[in-house]
Structure 1
Protein backbone atom coordinates (compact mmCIF):
# COMPACT_ATOMS: atom_id res chain seq x y z
CA UNK A 1 0.00 0.00 0.00
CA UNK A 2 2.83 2.38 0.89
CA UNK A 3 4.46 1.74 -2.51
CA UNK A 4 1.16 2.49 -4.28
CA UNK A 5 0.81 5.75 -2.31
CA UNK A 6 4.33 6.80 -3.28
CA UNK A 7 3.63 5.97 -6.93
CA UNK A 8 0.40 7.99 -6.90
CA UNK A 9 2.14 10.92 -5.21
CA UNK A 10 4.91 10.79 -7.82
CA UNK A 11 2.41 10.79 -10.69
CA UNK A 12 0.54 13.73 -9.17
CA UNK A 13 3.79 15.60 -8.66
CA UNK A 14 4.86 14.93 -12.24
CA UNK A 15 1.60 16.18 -13.70
CA UNK A 16 1.62 19.31 -11.52
CA UNK A 17 5.25 20.06 -12.32
CA UNK A 18 4.65 19.93 -16.06
CA UNK A 19 1.67 22.29 -15.75
CA UNK A 20 3.81 24.74 -13.76
CA UNK A 21 6.81 26.79 -14.85
CA UNK A 22 9.48 29.09 -13.47
CA UNK A 23 11.21 32.08 -15.02
CA UNK A 24 13.65 34.85 -14.26
CA UNK A 25 12.06 38.29 -14.19
CA UNK A 26 15.51 39.80 -13.77
CA UNK A 27 18.24 39.64 -15.02
CA UNK A 28 17.60 38.78 -18.65
CA UNK A 29 19.43 35.90 -20.30
CA UNK A 30 22.76 37.20 -21.64
CA UNK A 31 22.65 40.36 -19.51
CA UNK A 32 25.78 42.16 -18.38
CA UNK A 33 25.48 43.04 -14.69
CA UNK A 34 27.63 44.58 -11.98
CA UNK A 35 29.24 42.48 -9.26
CA UNK A 36 26.15 43.05 -7.11
CA UNK A 37 22.84 42.72 -8.94
CA UNK A 38 19.16 41.94 -8.32
CA UNK A 39 17.66 38.56 -9.14
CA UNK A 40 13.88 38.20 -9.33
CA UNK A 41 12.08 34.87 -9.64
CA UNK A 42 8.62 33.95 -10.92
CA UNK A 43 6.62 30.74 -10.76
CA UNK A 44 3.29 29.91 -12.38
CA UNK A 45 1.03 27.04 -11.40
CA UNK A 46 2.56 26.66 -7.90
CA UNK A 47 2.43 28.66 -4.68
CA UNK A 48 5.55 30.05 -3.04
CA UNK A 49 5.68 28.91 0.60
CA UNK A 50 8.46 28.87 3.21
CA UNK A 51 10.55 25.75 3.70
CA UNK A 52 8.95 23.25 6.04
CA UNK A 53 5.49 23.54 4.52
CA UNK A 54 4.82 20.43 2.45
CA UNK A 55 2.22 20.52 -0.29
CA UNK A 56 2.37 19.07 -3.80
CA UNK A 57 1.40 22.49 -5.18
CA UNK A 58 3.89 24.69 -3.32
CA UNK A 59 7.58 25.20 -2.69
CA UNK A 60 10.33 27.78 -2.74
CA UNK A 61 13.14 28.99 -4.98
CA UNK A 62 16.81 28.05 -5.08
CA UNK A 63 19.52 29.73 -7.13
CA UNK A 64 22.24 27.45 -8.46
CA UNK A 65 25.45 29.08 -9.62
CA UNK A 66 27.25 27.24 -12.43
CA UNK A 67 25.27 24.10 -11.58
CA UNK A 68 22.73 22.03 -13.47
CA UNK A 69 19.11 21.45 -12.46
CA UNK A 70 18.65 18.99 -9.60
CA UNK A 71 16.86 15.74 -10.54
CA UNK A 72 13.30 15.41 -9.28
CA UNK A 73 13.07 14.21 -5.69
CA UNK A 74 16.72 14.93 -4.83
CA UNK A 75 17.47 17.41 -2.04
CA UNK A 76 19.05 20.68 -3.16
CA UNK A 77 22.51 20.82 -1.53
CA UNK A 78 23.34 23.46 1.06
CA UNK A 79 26.58 25.11 -0.10
CA UNK A 80 27.93 28.32 -1.64
CA UNK A 81 26.74 27.43 -5.15
CA UNK A 82 23.19 26.41 -4.10
CA UNK A 83 21.47 29.41 -2.52
CA UNK A 84 18.23 28.64 -0.68
CA UNK A 85 15.33 31.06 -0.40
CA UNK A 86 13.51 29.07 2.27
CA UNK A 87 11.59 32.04 3.66
CA UNK A 88 9.62 32.17 0.43
CA UNK A 89 11.57 35.05 -1.10
CA UNK A 90 10.99 35.87 -4.75
CA UNK A 91 13.90 38.26 -5.14
CA UNK A 92 17.41 38.75 -3.79
CA UNK A 93 20.61 40.68 -4.27
CA UNK A 94 23.48 38.49 -5.48
CA UNK A 95 27.19 39.32 -5.44
CA UNK A 96 29.59 37.47 -7.77
CA UNK A 97 33.14 38.08 -8.94
CA UNK A 98 33.60 39.23 -12.55
CA UNK A 99 33.11 36.45 -15.09
CA UNK A 100 30.45 34.57 -17.02
CA UNK A 101 27.99 32.53 -14.97
CA UNK A 102 25.20 30.08 -15.59
CA UNK A 103 22.37 30.81 -13.13
CA UNK A 104 19.80 28.08 -12.65
CA UNK A 105 16.60 28.66 -10.73
CA UNK A 106 15.33 25.44 -9.13
CA UNK A 107 11.92 25.21 -7.47
CA UNK A 108 11.68 22.64 -4.70
CA UNK A 109 9.20 21.51 -2.05
CA UNK A 110 9.20 22.44 1.64
CA UNK A 111 11.79 19.72 2.35
CA UNK A 112 14.12 21.16 -0.34
CA UNK A 113 13.38 18.21 -2.65
CA UNK A 114 13.65 19.35 -6.24
CA UNK A 115 10.69 19.34 -8.61
CA UNK A 116 13.26 18.56 -11.31
CA UNK A 117 13.93 19.91 -14.78
CA UNK A 118 10.33 21.05 -15.48
CA UNK A 119 10.58 23.57 -12.64
CA UNK A 120 14.04 24.88 -13.39
CA UNK A 121 15.29 27.61 -15.70
CA UNK A 122 18.84 28.57 -16.65
CA UNK A 123 20.25 31.84 -17.94
CA UNK A 124 23.75 33.17 -18.52
CA UNK A 125 24.97 36.47 -17.10
CA UNK A 126 28.21 38.36 -17.61
CA UNK A 127 29.42 39.96 -14.39
CA UNK A 128 31.69 43.02 -14.93
Structure 2
Protein backbone atom coordinates (compact mmCIF):
# COMPACT_ATOMS: atom_id res chain seq x y z
CA UNK A 1 0.00 0.00 0.00
CA UNK A 2 1.48 3.42 -0.89
CA UNK A 3 2.54 5.41 2.14
CA UNK A 4 0.06 8.27 1.55
CA UNK A 5 -2.84 5.83 1.17
CA UNK A 6 -1.79 4.05 4.37
CA UNK A 7 -1.74 7.39 6.23
CA UNK A 8 -5.22 8.27 4.95
CA UNK A 9 -6.53 4.82 5.87
CA UNK A 10 -5.01 5.03 9.35
CA UNK A 11 -6.44 8.54 9.84
CA UNK A 12 -9.88 7.33 8.80
CA UNK A 13 -9.70 4.41 11.23
CA UNK A 14 -8.64 6.68 14.08
CA UNK A 15 -11.57 9.01 13.38
CA UNK A 16 -14.11 6.23 13.99
CA UNK A 17 -14.65 5.33 17.65
CA UNK A 18 -14.27 1.69 18.46
CA UNK A 19 -17.19 -0.10 20.05
CA UNK A 20 -17.07 -0.04 23.82
CA UNK A 21 -14.75 2.96 23.99
CA UNK A 22 -17.26 5.68 24.77
CA UNK A 23 -15.91 8.68 26.63
CA UNK A 24 -17.34 8.68 30.15
CA UNK A 25 -19.08 11.72 31.62
CA UNK A 26 -19.56 12.37 35.32
CA UNK A 27 -23.08 11.49 36.47
CA UNK A 28 -23.63 15.07 37.68
CA UNK A 29 -22.53 16.74 34.41
CA UNK A 30 -25.15 18.85 32.71
CA UNK A 31 -25.42 21.32 29.90
CA UNK A 32 -28.17 23.88 29.44
CA UNK A 33 -29.22 26.77 27.28
CA UNK A 34 -28.83 29.89 29.43
CA UNK A 35 -30.50 32.18 26.92
CA UNK A 36 -32.92 32.56 25.33
CA UNK A 37 -35.48 31.13 27.71
CA UNK A 38 -37.89 28.38 26.71
CA UNK A 39 -40.94 29.94 25.04
CA UNK A 40 -39.18 33.21 24.18
CA UNK A 41 -39.97 35.25 21.11
CA UNK A 42 -36.77 36.55 19.51
CA UNK A 43 -35.71 38.61 16.52
CA UNK A 44 -33.14 37.13 14.17
CA UNK A 45 -30.27 37.07 14.55
CA UNK A 46 -30.26 36.23 18.27
CA UNK A 47 -27.63 34.98 20.71
CA UNK A 48 -27.79 31.49 22.20
CA UNK A 49 -25.64 31.14 25.34
CA UNK A 50 -24.51 27.68 26.50
CA UNK A 51 -23.97 26.56 30.09
CA UNK A 52 -22.05 23.55 31.39
CA UNK A 53 -21.46 22.23 34.90
CA UNK A 54 -19.60 19.19 36.21
CA UNK A 55 -17.27 19.21 33.16
CA UNK A 56 -15.02 21.57 31.26
CA UNK A 57 -14.97 22.76 27.68
CA UNK A 58 -12.10 21.69 25.39
CA UNK A 59 -11.80 22.11 21.62
CA UNK A 60 -12.47 19.18 19.30
CA UNK A 61 -9.39 17.03 18.89
CA UNK A 62 -8.17 17.77 22.43
CA UNK A 63 -8.59 14.68 24.59
CA UNK A 64 -8.87 15.57 28.27
CA UNK A 65 -10.78 13.77 31.00
CA UNK A 66 -14.15 15.32 31.91
CA UNK A 67 -14.21 17.73 28.94
CA UNK A 68 -16.10 18.11 25.68
CA UNK A 69 -17.48 20.69 23.30
CA UNK A 70 -21.00 21.79 22.46
CA UNK A 71 -23.23 20.85 19.55
CA UNK A 72 -26.46 22.78 19.04
CA UNK A 73 -29.34 20.71 17.68
CA UNK A 74 -31.76 22.90 15.74
CA UNK A 75 -35.22 21.49 14.94
CA UNK A 76 -34.07 17.91 15.64
CA UNK A 77 -36.70 15.39 16.76
CA UNK A 78 -34.32 12.68 18.04
CA UNK A 79 -30.82 12.67 19.46
CA UNK A 80 -28.19 11.32 17.08
CA UNK A 81 -26.78 7.81 17.76
CA UNK A 82 -24.63 7.76 20.88
CA UNK A 83 -21.89 5.60 19.37
CA UNK A 84 -21.15 7.73 16.29
CA UNK A 85 -19.84 11.24 15.65
CA UNK A 86 -22.59 13.85 15.74
CA UNK A 87 -23.47 14.87 12.18
CA UNK A 88 -22.44 18.33 10.96
CA UNK A 89 -25.19 20.12 9.05
CA UNK A 90 -27.72 22.94 9.47
CA UNK A 91 -29.53 20.92 12.16
CA UNK A 92 -26.39 19.77 14.04
CA UNK A 93 -24.10 22.72 14.57
CA UNK A 94 -20.61 22.08 15.90
CA UNK A 95 -18.66 24.34 18.25
CA UNK A 96 -15.37 22.48 18.11
CA UNK A 97 -13.40 25.59 19.00
CA UNK A 98 -14.84 25.46 22.50
CA UNK A 99 -17.33 28.29 21.91
CA UNK A 100 -20.00 28.85 24.54
CA UNK A 101 -22.36 31.03 22.53
CA UNK A 102 -23.49 31.63 18.97
CA UNK A 103 -25.35 34.29 17.01
CA UNK A 104 -28.12 32.28 15.35
CA UNK A 105 -30.05 33.43 12.29
CA UNK A 106 -33.15 31.29 11.81
CA UNK A 107 -36.17 31.95 9.59
CA UNK A 108 -39.39 33.26 11.17
CA UNK A 109 -41.47 30.67 13.00
CA UNK A 110 -41.18 28.18 15.83
CA UNK A 111 -37.88 26.35 16.35
CA UNK A 112 -36.47 23.90 18.89
CA UNK A 113 -32.94 24.15 20.33
CA UNK A 114 -31.04 21.56 22.36
CA UNK A 115 -27.40 21.14 23.35
CA UNK A 116 -25.46 17.89 23.20
CA UNK A 117 -21.88 17.66 24.42
CA UNK A 118 -19.44 15.73 22.27
CA UNK A 119 -16.01 14.36 23.13
CA UNK A 120 -12.78 15.14 21.30
CA UNK A 121 -14.06 13.10 18.32
CA UNK A 122 -17.60 14.64 18.30
CA UNK A 123 -19.12 11.49 19.85
CA UNK A 124 -21.66 11.94 22.67
CA UNK A 125 -20.43 10.99 26.13
CA UNK A 126 -21.78 8.11 28.20
CA UNK A 127 -24.11 8.97 29.79
CA UNK A 128 -25.03 11.69 27.28
CA UNK A 129 -24.67 15.27 28.47
CA UNK A 130 -27.74 16.82 26.88
CA UNK A 131 -29.85 19.85 27.71
CA UNK A 132 -33.59 20.12 27.89
CA UNK A 133 -35.07 21.03 24.53
CA UNK A 134 -36.40 24.58 24.36
CA UNK A 135 -38.75 26.21 21.88
CA UNK A 136 -38.28 29.74 20.57
CA UNK A 137 -40.36 31.73 18.12
CA UNK A 138 -38.48 33.91 15.66
CA UNK A 139 -40.58 36.97 14.86
CA UNK A 140 -40.99 38.26 11.32
Q: TM-score, normalised by structure 1?
A: 0.84
Larger helix proportion, structure 1 or 2? 1
Conserved? CA contact 1:70–1:116, under 8 Å: no
Moved over 6 A (4+): none
Residue 67 of structure 2 corresponds to residue 49 of structure 1:
no
* Aligned-partner Cα distance in 1 for 2:37–2:120: 27
The answer on whether the counterparts of 1:51 and 1:86 sit within 8 Å (CA) in structure 2 is yes
Say how many residue pairs are matched: 119
CA spacing shift, 1:124–1:116, aligned 2, 3 Å: farther
Q: Larger Cα Rg: Structure 1 or Structure 2?
A: 2
Question: Are 1:28 and 2:3 counterparts?
Answer: no
Q: Classify 1:105/1:117 alpha carbon distance in 2 versus 1 (closer, same or farther; 3 Å).
A: farther
Cα deviations across residues 25-78 of structure 1 (Å, max 9, x unaligned)? 111011101121000001101110000012341010011111132343321101
Select the residue among 84, 95, 105 that pairs with 2:115. Answer: 105
Shift of 1:81: 1.1
- The RMSD of aligned alpha carbons is 1.9
